Amino acid sequence: MDIDYKKQALEAFNTIQTNIGFLGIDHDIRTIMVTSSIKGEGKSTVTSNIANSYAFSQKRVLLVDCDMRNPAVHRVLELPNRKGLADLIMAGREGQDAGDYITHYGPYFDVLTAGHRPPNPTELLGSKRMEALIGLFSGQYDYVILDTPPVLLVPDAIALHPYVDGILLVVRHGYTTKEVLEDCKKAWEVAGTKPSACILNAIPDMQKRYSYYGYYDYEETQPAKGRGKNRRQPVIKREERQEKDMYTSIAKEAKEPHSRKDIHGAEPAEPEFIRKANTSGQGFQRQADRTKRKLH
């Protein structure tokens, strides 16, 4: 991954972070559930990057992997998954010793992995113990972000929605169909709620289509001659470009030595002082020849 793409991704998740703040008009959104419709939409990667964006802003954030059936956060962040959320709930502890299950990923970034796979994930996630844990975590962290399973596969995310302040639905470009989104919408309507926002993931060639700085500079990118990279050239209005091309062509034609036409298309008139100079020179030469013959 090149540096420009990393910067662009960081800007994208910073924008998501800012927009989440605008969603909380009536109340602060501090516990956020991230889900998707089906598998393969990049939900866990998006969730991890959102959490990292908050941590980069020096906000204390806890990322909780609530996908106990197919956990992925520990793989994305390259962390062990020996014990986690399922083990904490099964132990009957409501947060007093939760620190033993939490991994410190960064200065402001903590992670609670999914842990061992239980036989009843939906019941665990919808239990009073889970509600108490979320309440405890929201008192210890600025933001608590939950990575939950896809809505159309299992009911785990539906069971968790009463405990969170906001819901983010991840949709993958060119992958998630309209029919899938309609089914997902119906599932949320049955639960009596709806996602707070939708994140469109994996947009192809976004760097070529859009330029953040170009929007402010009113510039367009054109390929440089003989180079693989692009150079930035100012946008010129069509009328100005046509006028510029016309004058450039006229000036070029006027400078050509073989051309006997001026810029208006007429034959160039010989200046008067040149004709006088040539005439006086010829008269002087004839007078010099007569004087030379007399001397001889």
Residue 258 has pLDDT above 70, yes or no: no
**The pair of three-digit structure tokens given for residue 136, joined into one six-digit string:** 């405890």
pLDDT the model gives residue 229: 43
pLDDT digits (tens, 9 = 90+) for 23-77: 867 778 999 999 999 999 999 999 999 999 999 999 999 999 999 999 999 999 9
Q: Please give the C-alpha separations between residue 23 and each of 81, 164, 185, 196, 287, in angstroms, as whole numbers.
A: 33, 14, 19, 7, 101
pLDDT digits (tens, 9 = 90+) for 133-170: 999 999 999 999 999 999 999 999 999 999 999 999 99
**Mean pLDDT calculated for residue range 243-260:** 53
Q: Please give the C-alpha separations between residue 251 and each of 48, 56, 284, 293, in angstroms, as whole numbers.
A: 61, 57, 39, 51
